[in-house]
Structure 1
Amino acid sequence: MAGIWSAVRWWDDWQLRILVIGSLGFQWFLLLAAPMRNYSIPRWFRTCIWLAYITADALAIYALATLFNRHARATSTACNYYGAKLSSLEVLWAPLLLIYLGGREEITAYNIEDNELWTRHTVTLVSQVTVALYAFYKSWTGDNDRKLLLSAILLFIVGIISFCEKPWSLRRASINRLVAMSSLMKGERRSPTGWQWCFTKLDDRYKCWRARPQGTAPILSQGDKVQMMLSDLSLYAAEVTLEIRKKGTTDQKILEPLTMGKHKMKPWLRQAFGLIYTRANVIFTPAYLACHVLLVPSLYIAAIMLFATSHKHEYYVTDVKITYALLCFTAVLDVFGLLISELMYWLMSSQAKVPALCENLPGYNLIDSVLRVVRPRTGPLLKIAKRMGYKEGYFRQPKDRLYSSVSDFITAELVSASSKVENVDFSSYRSFTKDYWASRTALRDECRRRGEVRRSLRRSPFDASVLLWHIATDICFRCGPPKHFGERPPRAEVVREVCTEAISNYMAYLLNFQPEMLMTGSRQHLFTEAMKYMERILAKDGIKHKLEDKQEQEQKLDDASLRRIKEEAAELASDPKGRYTIVHDACKLAEELMGIEEETRWHLMYRVWVGMLCYSASMCRGYLHAKSLGEGGEFLSYVWLIISLTGSKTLADKLQMPEPEPEEMETTTTTTAQEEGRPAASSWATETGEDG
């Protein structure tokens, strides 16, 4: 019993110390870990960052409550463990906890919804600062060292500055206020007030307060274009409004040159992430720079010097050392935080070579997933884990094995399309009545003759079409995989094996895990139902016994198993009680595709999947792309960014700009081609070769 009371007394003595040191430790962890959110890191580590982000504020608030509750019960001479002098040294930790509550510049918001709650953070600012100041005033006794009082006042100033910056940056990053571009693009001359000068970014100040010469394009930085796209503004509409395509000004247009490559995407994606989830919106304002370059370092230096010259002989040595450590490490955290973050970026990108935002191509294969479930050894455990909310790939390290190849092909396709057809409409990949961007005339004619192909593209909803083609593509690969010739296969072989299968699995992953990004109104339950019926089919075939002693990478289906899948799918489709046709339709589509000559079949499948990927990216809202950046980003956002910057038609363009009439489109295309010195073309695909 004595041991329990001894432990209780020890906790009473060390509780506050542990809470304050723990709060500082969480701040350093966030400083070092927050830059990793710009990279494709495992989900479990991203969850750890989220837990630290939530726990850091809760721990600091609990420490403040503990600090002032114990001093509220204490008197200046009794009822406390340390005495009055030691009590005042504890109170010096209050402004440091207030600084920790202000958050880090590198992780202002964890989710995009946090930016919309900036008013709540403002109320929290006022209430917590008021309570902290009042409690400090009530706890501080008049006979304490005045140097400690001055040190605490200086630290409170730093804490209030840090706390004010958080709601300010959240408000600036709000989607509703992310862009106010009209006056910036028009280049209006106006005299700024002193207040406006202090809180306007330096590059924006140049654009706002300097008139644009007659007949020239507006001055838009890379950040402006990122903000416009994230806010679902139409770049094409902006060009038309500003008449940028006048002769002599086309080299100054808003859209990026069409010679871009994927190496230019990293700065765009990183800047988009910074505008929403960090304080990048306010860092380069004169007010912020003046505070963090001049004022805040001076306040820290003065506070540390005042504490060092104060009378500390009456305090416990342990608390004096802890206070020194808190002051020094907090000063380094605030003053050199951005430099440390940049060092982490350099280590992650150049030394560790971790894939950056959106440089990951996750995949999910329906048949492989079902085969893992029906395995006798791991299947029951996997079923239990899924019922508890586990998602496959949670503990898996993201890899970019397929990213490089697929991104190269997609970038080449999009740049080629945009260079030959202005404002390309990616929804036309499902059309069989006109030349469309994703296919040649020969492939379009081939699709016309195939009833299942035409039906899956023209009559099926987009989400069902993705699922149909995913199952059919997988069956075709399992029946007759592409052949390689030599150690380094030709480009056509890479197109078939890497791009077609990789994009198919990625689109299935989007339907299963990110249906709102695949297309508005996508039904995730289609994938779940298909897995349930496929599990019934494979279980009837007894495949689980064949796979009992095999590794996961060896889970392949032979011809008899594939034939059995078709028969069972036909039986399920004909059963009036449990009628289900998606798997059956996918089997019929695969059978029809297998009847096409091999070279044409793989090229057709590749074109269809590229069309689906680009159509999904162009129809996804900028808000959803911005939201996904906070979770590591999606390859779909990479495609969407290229589509936006090359001037192709996005969702914003389809909503803002009317569909051109055939005669108008032909005239516009011919005129633009003549101005740019190239032959007119109704479709880029008619001029491209078989391999893109």
Structure 2
Amino acid sequence: MVEVIPEHIKDVWDRWNIRGAIILSLTLQAILICFSPLRKRTPRRLLIMLVWSSYLLADWSANFAVGLISKNQGKDPKPDAPPQDKNLMALWAPFLLLHLGGPDTITAFALEDNALWLRHLFGLVFQAIAGVYIVLLSIPNSLWVIILLVFISGTIKYLERTTALFSASLDKFRDSMIQAPDPGPNYAKLMEEYKAKKEARLPTKIVLIDEPDKANRPKKLEHRSFVSDIKKLTDIEIVQYAYKFFNTFKGLVVNLIFSFRERDESLEIFENLNEPEEALRIIEIELGFLYDSLFTKIAILHTVFGTVSRVIASGTLVAAFILFDKKPKKDKLFNRADVVVTYTLFAVGITLDFISIVLFLFSDWTCAALSSLKDNPDEPPTLKERFLNWLLSFRKLRWKEQKCHHKCTEQGKKPCIKEGDDKCSSVLTHEVLTTPFFLRRWCGSINVFNFLVYATKAEVTRIHDARGSFRRNSWKIITFPFKILNLIIQKPSGWIAKLINNVHTWISHKVNELSRKHPWARRTIYPIYFEFLSRIPHFIKYVLDYLSEFFDISDTLDTFQRSLYVHGEPMTKELWTFMFNELKYKSKFGDNPENAKRISLARGEWTLRDNLPENADREKLVRYITKMDYDQSLLMWHIATELCYQQEETAPESYDEKDHYSYREFSKIISDYMMYLLILQPSLMSEVAGIGKIRFRDTSAEADKFFQRRHIENEKSVKKATVNILDVDSEIDPMGVKGDRSKSVLFDASRLAKDLKDLDDKYKKNKWEILSKVWVELLSYAACHCDSTAHVEQLSRGGELINFVWLLMAHFGLTDQFQINKGDARAKLIIGK
């Protein structure tokens, strides 16, 4: 009988399977604790794939190793094996329970994992039973004290993970924020008294005394006053405010409603900040608290239960190691390789515990727990606060002046990227975010995608590029193979069909020629080829098309091609300041729930009506928003923004050049960012995307057809494409000519771009200022209408600008979740004379 697996391979597996599974489990734990914190700093798919695979394999490998040990304990030892190997393997079982507890830096890979807390609880019970079974099989065992200590540590770690999952499940997360039931004023008692007074013929009436409305609300907050001299917040105050607002606004995740008091408190602080950067820092720490609460153990460890359990778990593990190390004659009692494995388990376990403790002690949670907001902000800082400020200063936002170039985009020139380059006719300096990778709290960049760049297959260029020349060239080398692959897969059906057609033509010609010369060929080869062989390529193409549609391969290829045209723009301080001031200005009009909801529902029309005089031209622009779906309006305004951007490289003399180019840059970045969200982040835009992908594909198809007709499909020039699109007379509505079957908006966007140009010509209005404000409004609409769980999920993939806008709008009270405006009324019975 032939053996599929050779005997020597079986022997190696029998000897090393348990050790291999143990080492694999330990390695996966090390990967998770080291790399899982990085996923909130970068959206790189390679890192996310590494963490995801390690997360899934970690539990499997530990369970598999427990099964192998259990099977081994039930067998009689081989003659050449040391007599007490089973005793040492009984010590490994509680180590696997320790591994199943997982590292502190990740408990859930996705929010759905938190809902499986009950499964983990059952796993704890059965793994504990399996561990006890393994130990009982090894009795008598001289290591029983060490095993007991490790078992206690592993059980505590597993309980910590289960508790973290339980508290982060959305139902429990919501329940933890719901206050005690509020029956309101005692209506029945009041009415009984009212009825009794009426029956006694007493002149009685009920007077309602409402809670103070906004006009009578106190201006000052109890914990800090901003009325006098506005002072820059210290690093520890930034963390304290972030922790305070985290506890207030974490209810956004589960769609709770808020009161006017919470809105006013947040609004007063954010309106009186020294600079918008402080708001950015508060929000990034606040989002960090939210991430830690839902994806890690950190929130649990910063409770009394968590701190005590961690001290016990770490202490018992260290005590077990000391007892094992002091045990005499280990080399004689146990296999030397098994002793090395055991030492490795202890060493790595204690090291990972130490890393967890360091992360615990130096986290934002610890800083928030060790200090509290002062009533008097002018009070000098204590020694503890000075130390915490010094510690937090390492994670402050770093900004670097970066020269962005605008006029040199004309005639196909690449933007200048070297400082001091005298070839550029206009240089504007902005501060870009350059916080070092390991000190970031989020990715710090804005991914952008441009429709016309994708349609023309032009080279992607950046407005700001904070990378050095080495990183820039390295990135080009890395992406070069993918670009080649993209060229191969761009139109596979086209060149394959052409090749098949050429081969078919040649063979057909030869078969016809042979059939004319030889009658036997006409009776045999001719019918065989034309009735059977020539149809095989068509059959293969049909099968490939069917499989492609069934497995959604074409959509995957499309997504891959689009991702090649995505690049990251670093966050600039000027862009954040602009968005902050825009939302701050709008917050003045959101003084009640109705107005706040009206502003949050605005998709650009509020800005147009606020900045333009009331006339037919203004209403024409407003119709491009109000009379269309959000995704249709978004794609149209994006293409129109790019058409305007490519056409204008010089600022009108009547405008301040720096402001003009800043607004132009803001419009370009936010426009491209919104297109990235619509096309490549469908989960974030699922509530507002509509048929955005269909519109994108139809518009892309019309652009391809148009470029081929103009013979510019191989030019790869956005500038030339812009000129040709705007050259088409679009006086008549495209829908009136083409109908509404195609969802393309290419020439609707051309009409919009021409209407926007009139703002400069007719009204002397800076169209870029208005455009940039429209884009902030479009972004704000998407942010507050995005599903809250999608916002939280994105935090585990580096975070996005839209997450910051979502929370900033909540701080300014610009959401429809501030619905408690008056609270309970107090009623009094008044008896007249």
Whole-angstrom distance in 2 between the partners of 1:398 and 1:292: 43
The CA deviation string for residues 400-443 of structure 1, in whole angstroms up to 9 with x for no partner, is 524443222111222233256535442464586xxx4x356442
1:652 aligns with 2:821: no
* Residue 589 of structure 1: how far off its partner (Å): 1.5
Q: Secondary structure at the match of 1:478?
A: helix
* Residue 254 of structure 1: how far off its partner (Å): 9.1
* Residue 181 of structure 1: how far off its partner (Å): 3.7
Whole-angstrom distance in 1 between the partners of 2:568 and 2:722: 31
Match of 1:600 among 734, 753, 766: 766
On the 8 A contact 1:109/1:170 being kept in 2, the answer is yes
Paired residue for 1:225?
248
* Residue 276 of structure 1: how far off its partner (Å): 1.0
| CA shift in 2, pair 1:578/1:221, >3 Å | closer
Match of 1:469 among 637, 643, 647: 637
| CA shift in 2, pair 1:573/1:439, >3 Å | closer
**1:65-464 superposed matches below 5 A:** 65-72=67-74, 74-75=75-76, 77-78=77-78, 82-138=81-137, 140-142=138-140, 144=141, 146=142, 148-179=143-174, 180-181=176-177, 183=179, 221-237=244-260, 239=262, 258-259=272-273, 260-293=278-311, 295-310=312-327, 311-312=329-330, 313-340=332-359, 351-352=436-437, 355-357=440-442, 359-372=444-457, 378-382=486-490, 387-388=555-556, 390-391=559-560, 399-419=568-588, 422=591, 424=596, 425-427=598-600, 429=602, 436=606, 438-439=607-608, 441-445=610-614, 448-450=616-618, 452-464=620-632
* Residue 351 of structure 1: how far off its partner (Å): 4.7
1:583 aligns with 2:602: no
On the 8 A contact 1:23/1:56 being kept in 2, the answer is yes
| CA shift in 2, pair 1:511/1:262, >3 Å | same
Q: Secondary structure at the match of 1:361?
A: strand
- Structure 1 vs Structure 2 CA RMSD: 3.9
* Residue 494 of structure 1: how far off its partner (Å): 0.6
Whole-angstrom distance in 1 between the partners of 2:52 and 2:101: 16
1:639 aligns with 2:805: yes
| CA shift in 2, pair 1:329/1:185, >3 Å | farther
Q: Secondary structure at the match of 2:447?
A: coil
| CA shift in 2, pair 1:302/1:538, >3 Å | same
On the 8 A contact 2:36/2:105 being kept in 1, the answer is yes
On the 8 A contact 1:569/1:581 being kept in 2, the answer is no
Paired residue for 1:616?
782
| CA shift in 2, pair 1:51/1:651, >3 Å | farther
Whole-angstrom distance in 1 between the partners of 2:727 and 2:296: 54
Whole-angstrom distance in 2 between the partners of 1:571 and 1:216: 56
| CA shift in 2, pair 1:509/1:565, >3 Å | farther
Whole-angstrom distance in 2 between the partners of 1:507 and 1:586: 16
Whole-angstrom distance in 2 between the partners of 1:461 and 1:657: 31
Paired residue for 2:498?
none
* Residue 386 of structure 1: how far off its partner (Å): 6.0
Paired residue for 1:210?
none
Partner AA of 1:286 in structure 2: V
TM-score, normalised by the number of residues in structure 2 = 0.64
Whole-angstrom distance in 1 between the partners of 2:714 and 2:319: 74
TM-score, normalised by the number of residues in structure 1 = 0.76
On the 8 A contact 1:229/1:622 being kept in 2, the answer is yes
Q: Secondary structure at the match of 1:261?
A: helix
On the 8 A contact 1:36/1:348 being kept in 2, the answer is no
Paired residue for 1:479?
647
Whole-angstrom distance in 1 between the partners of 2:622 and 2:87: 80
* Residue 106 of structure 1: how far off its partner (Å): 1.0
The CA deviation string for residues 58-115 of structure 1, in whole angstroms up to 9 with x for no partner, is 222222222222333x21x43x763441232223211111111111111111111111
Whole-angstrom distance in 1 between the partners of 2:5 and 2:254: 61
| CA shift in 2, pair 1:358/1:305, >3 Å | closer
Whole-angstrom distance in 1 between the partners of 2:728 and 2:354: 64
* Residue 287 of structure 1: how far off its partner (Å): 1.7
> Which ranges in structure 1 are unaligned for 5 or more consecutive residues?
187-214, 246-250, 548-553, 660-692
* Residue 560 of structure 1: how far off its partner (Å): 4.9
| CA shift in 2, pair 1:483/1:130, >3 Å | farther
Partner AA of 2:245 in structure 1: Q
Paired residue for 1:520?
687
Whole-angstrom distance in 1 between the partners of 2:345 and 2:732: 67
| CA shift in 2, pair 1:383/1:97, >3 Å | farther
Q: Secondary structure at the match of 2:759?
A: coil
Match of 2:676 among 509, 512, 534: 509
On the 8 A contact 1:452/1:589 being kept in 2, the answer is no
Q: Which has the higher strand share?
A: 2
Q: Secondary structure at the match of 1:517?
A: coil
Whole-angstrom distance in 1 between the partners of 2:29 and 2:669: 40
Q: Secondary structure at the match of 1:363?
A: strand
On the 8 A contact 2:448/2:567 being kept in 1, the answer is no
The CA deviation string for residues 571-627 of structure 1, in whole angstroms up to 9 with x for no partner, is 897346964452232222222223331653222212211111112222334332222
The CA deviation string for residues 334-380 of structure 1, in whole angstroms up to 9 with x for no partner, is 24414157779999876546653263211111121222399999444
On the 8 A contact 1:232/1:621 being kept in 2, the answer is no
| CA shift in 2, pair 1:81/1:123, >3 Å | farther
455-464 or 6-15, larger mean C-alpha shift = 6-15
Q: Secondary structure at the match of 2:570?
A: coil
Whole-angstrom distance in 2 between the partners of 1:314 and 1:87: 11
Partner AA of 2:450 in structure 1: N
Partner AA of 1:416 in structure 2: Y
Q: Percent identity?
A: 22
Whole-angstrom distance in 2 between the partners of 1:3 and 1:348: 55
| CA shift in 2, pair 1:601/1:357, >3 Å | same
Whole-angstrom distance in 2 between the partners of 1:270 and 1:391: 30
Of structures 1 and 2, the larger Rg is shown by 2
On the 8 A contact 2:450/2:672 being kept in 1, the answer is yes
On the 8 A contact 2:779/2:802 being kept in 1, the answer is yes
Q: Secondary structure at the match of 1:505?
A: helix
* Residue 3 of structure 1: how far off its partner (Å): 12
* Residue 566 of structure 1: how far off its partner (Å): 6.8
On the 8 A contact 2:257/2:817 being kept in 1, the answer is yes
| CA shift in 2, pair 1:358/1:463, >3 Å | farther
Whole-angstrom distance in 2 between the partners of 1:354 and 1:281: 20
Paired residue for 2:18?
16
The CA deviation string for residues 135-165 of structure 1, in whole angstroms up to 9 with x for no partner, is 3323x142x3x2x122112111111111111
| CA shift in 2, pair 1:393/1:35, >3 Å | farther
Paired residue for 2:471?
none
On the 8 A contact 1:373/1:382 being kept in 2, the answer is no
On the 8 A contact 1:155/1:300 being kept in 2, the answer is yes
